[in-house]
Structure 1
Amino acid sequence: MTDSTASLPPEVVAEHGIVVVPLQVVIGAAVHEEGTPEASPARVAAALREFLPVSTSRPAPAVFAETYDRLATEGAEEIISLHLSGDMSGTFESAQLAARDATVPVTAVDSRQVGVATGFAAVTAAQVVAAGGTAGEAARAALERAAESSSLFYVDTLEYLRRGGRIGAAAALFGGALAVKPLLTIADGRVSTLEKVRTSGRALARLEDLAVERAGERQVDVSVSHLADAERAGQLADRLRIRLAGNLDGRELWCGELGAVLGAHVGPGMLAVCVSPLPD
């Protein structure tokens, strides 16, 4: 199991038999599950531009409890429940609370990552299970992959991260005052400033170079994500396909729109790259 912020394509979820629990998006007074038309990335981007209140909410422990019970009824003997960083969301905590009373053993795992980095870790866990590994082995492999993954992203403004409490007011003010275009990463489960660049063009060029540097000589999976900026994301993905052709070795580079929950915290114009080395 994972959650909707893992941003896994539906065909990958189906291929590996992964169960996805949705987080919620609150637009104005309306609450919607991520993945529904009412909580689409485009709807979130439009609401942010219109200064409508947008927030997000974790799944309640009862939602996890119901899912664990359903899977047990369907024949699951053990469950690995892998989620986005506990420092960024209460989702992992909900999974832990529900796991205490589950009718089958549940291993709740804090990936210490967000977005596709969590998704790649979930795929690795599923592959270990499919190969006959134990729940403990799958959880360890997932954590190792998440720790090796690099989540790199560019935002037009730090304002949306400030509103959601994901970055300090002082950092947001500093970025805005100097017209800095920040490059960010996830370090120890939290948003961290990686570099500060003066223009968006330089920031995106540097984002590309950083992704290539993080790949090094290793075999990697790569994903490019965006919110309301498909053109620039497509251009970045095309360049990375060329520069990382040897690292990808024919594997597809994913490129798509960021989910509504994460999008609500970064705002329109965000571009992200996840570089995830393949397990040995």
Structure 2
Amino acid sequence: MNTEKVAEYIINWLKEYATNAKVNGFVVGVSGGIDSALTSTLCAKTGYPTLCVEMPIHQAESQVSRAEEHIAQLKKRFANVSEARVDLTSTFEDFKNVLPSVAHSEKLDLSLANTRARLRMTTLYYFAGLQGLLVAGTGNKVEDFGVGFYTKYGDGGVDLSPIADLMKSEVYQLAAYLGVPNSIQKAQPTDGLFGDSRTDEDQIGASYDELEWAMNMKEKGKTAADFSGREKEVLKIYTRLNTINQHKMLAIPVCKIPKKIM
């Protein structure tokens, strides 16, 4: 990948979109991960006001410190960058306390994890509405169009997606080129939605390198039957997640009423 040209293209795309939309700039949720670090850097380089929002909910200290390091670095490099910190932990706990009591289960854990992401989306749109900003998405191609590894109307609820055509490996290349802190480049990817140490790979069952390979194989028409061993297993994982998460990737179904019965 020609990192210089790709970076320039995305930055110009962001600038053109913001100009045409007649908005004041961008707001990005910064988590301490590589995707949000790259997205916020690209937005900052447009010259438009870029608000970086940190939104911890029972967050691991390592994630918090990486997010703070990145935001501090961006503010030092770019005069158009500002920050806000909204600790949503008490909001999340208040929300849980008013819900009906149910037995603990994996479904409950997942529902609450998605609730965290949706609270953050609501917070970003609060700032967007207040300051006339666009919410910039942080999903990459593997997450958004491969395995659907994001929360519908959570981190998937955005105005535009500047890095959604980049594979995870390309995200790392671009992040290195643009000077994202090494602590973020070296950190294990995690969505941080469960309040523990599980990584994205722990949840998915495959690494991003493996998922990129599977995505490429699927585009070439290959199936699990064409492989054996670990490759067979990875392609099965990719295919299963791609199938069950299509509802995130496709337009919302609309019930069209036939004119003859109207």
TM-score, normalization by structure 2: 0.25
Q: Which is greater in Rg? A: 2
Greater percentage in strand: 1
- State TM-score, norm by structure 1: 0.23
Task: Specify which structure has the higher proportion of helix.
Answer: 2
